[in-house]
Amino acid sequence: RKEVEQDPGPFNVPEGATVAFNCTYSNSASQSFFWYRQDCRKEPKLLMSVYSSGNEDGRFTAQLNRASQYISLLIRDSKLSDSATYLCAVRNYGGSQGNLIFGKGTKLSVKP
Amino acid sequence: DVKVTQSSRYLVKRTGEKVFLECVQDMDHENMFWYRQDPGLGLRLIYFSYDVKMKEKGDIPEGYSVSREKKERFSLILESASTNQTSMYLCASTIPGHYGYTFGSGTRLTVV
């Protein structure tokens, strides 16, 4: 099983739709979790950290499910500008201490 | 805002050339990383450094070396460039702890 897995998509949704992505991780000792957004041919940019209690930033909600070892990202009222690839990242401790492990990303395409 | 600056956005080099990719961050971050990103393969860690003069191999170090003589600068060296090193190279930095990475804007390297 890969350490961090994401459905590559693409997710094709109409404007205004709600869309959710999941990201599963294999190490139950994982400590920190993040969602990144990457536009085509650009660098990944931190979208939000994922806290145990879940967190929300405008139309974006991130949640952590430790029992099932996944994190999720929910986007409400999708905009054309949300079209991008969304990467999840997980930090373990021990071994390569402090390094993030990235998923390969889920591509989102929001259509008019 | 933290800035991570990579010296070149686009670079074309010939097979066998020695190539230097420079990365500078302006926020006194201890940890710095070099990744390459290829379609379908995601972000792959080449080398990382937790301190000046310190370096550790990532998942794909073969054909690369690094230098960290100053805290703010982390250089990636392709000893003898090959066509299979054509890729997008991304530098990132962070401070130790539960923090995400900040990425540079990337260098798209083509080896011909």
The pLDDT confidence band at residue A67, using thresholds 50, 70 and 90, is very high
Asked if A45's CB is within 8 angstroms of B100's CB, the reply is no
- Is the separation of the CB atoms in A55 and A64 below 8 Å? no
Within 8 A by CB and 6+ apart from A96, the residues are B48, B56, B58
Within 8 A by CB and 6+ apart from A61, the residues are A54, A55, A73, A74, A76
Percent of chain A topping pLDDT 90: 80
Asked if A98's CB is within 8 angstroms of B43's CB, the reply is no
**DSSP conformational letter for B32:** E
Find the CB nearest A98 among B31, B43, B58: B31
Q: What is the C-alpha to C-alpha distance for residues A37 and A81, in angstroms, rounded to an integer?
A: 11
Chain B: give the shortest CA distance to residue A49, in Å: 8
**Residues from chain A contacting residue B108 (CB–CB below 8 Å):** 41
**Residues from chain B contacting residue A104 (CB–CB below 8 Å):** 40-42
Q: What is the C-alpha to C-alpha distance for residues B73 and B37, in angstroms, rounded to an integer?
A: 21
Q: What is the C-alpha to C-alpha distance for residues A66 and B57, in angstroms, rounded to an integer?
A: 30
**Least-confidence region, from A47-51, B12-16, B18-22, B84-88:** A47-51
Helix (H/G/I), strand (E/B), else coil: B85: helix
Percent of chain B topping pLDDT 90: 88
The pLDDT confidence band at residue B2, using thresholds 50, 70 and 90, is low
> What's the mean pLDDT in A30-41?
94
Backbone angles phi, psi at B98, to 5 degrees: -90, 55
Q: What is the C-alpha to C-alpha distance for residues B44 and A82, in angstroms, rounded to an integer?
A: 25
- Positions of E strands within A1-112: 4-6, 11-14, 19-25, 32-38, 44-50, 55-57, 60-65, 70-75, 84-91, 100-102, 106-111
The verdict on B60 touching A (C-beta cutoff 8 Å) is no
What are the structure tokens assigned to A74, written together?
């929910």
- Tell me: the pLDDT tens digits for B44-58? 999 999 999 999 999
Query: Is residue B1 scored above 80 in pLDDT?
Result: no
R_g (Cα) of chain B, nearest Å: 13
**Residues from chain B contacting residue A34 (CB–CB below 8 Å):** 100
The verdict on B106 touching A (C-beta cutoff 8 Å) is yes
Within 8 A by CB and 6+ apart from B39, the residues are none
Give the count of alpha carbons within 13 A of B45, CB side only. Answer: 20
The pLDDT assigned to A92 comes to 79
Mean pLDDT estimate for chain A: 92
Other C-beta atoms lying within 10 Å of the C-beta of residue B42: 19
> What's the mean pLDDT in A53-75?
96
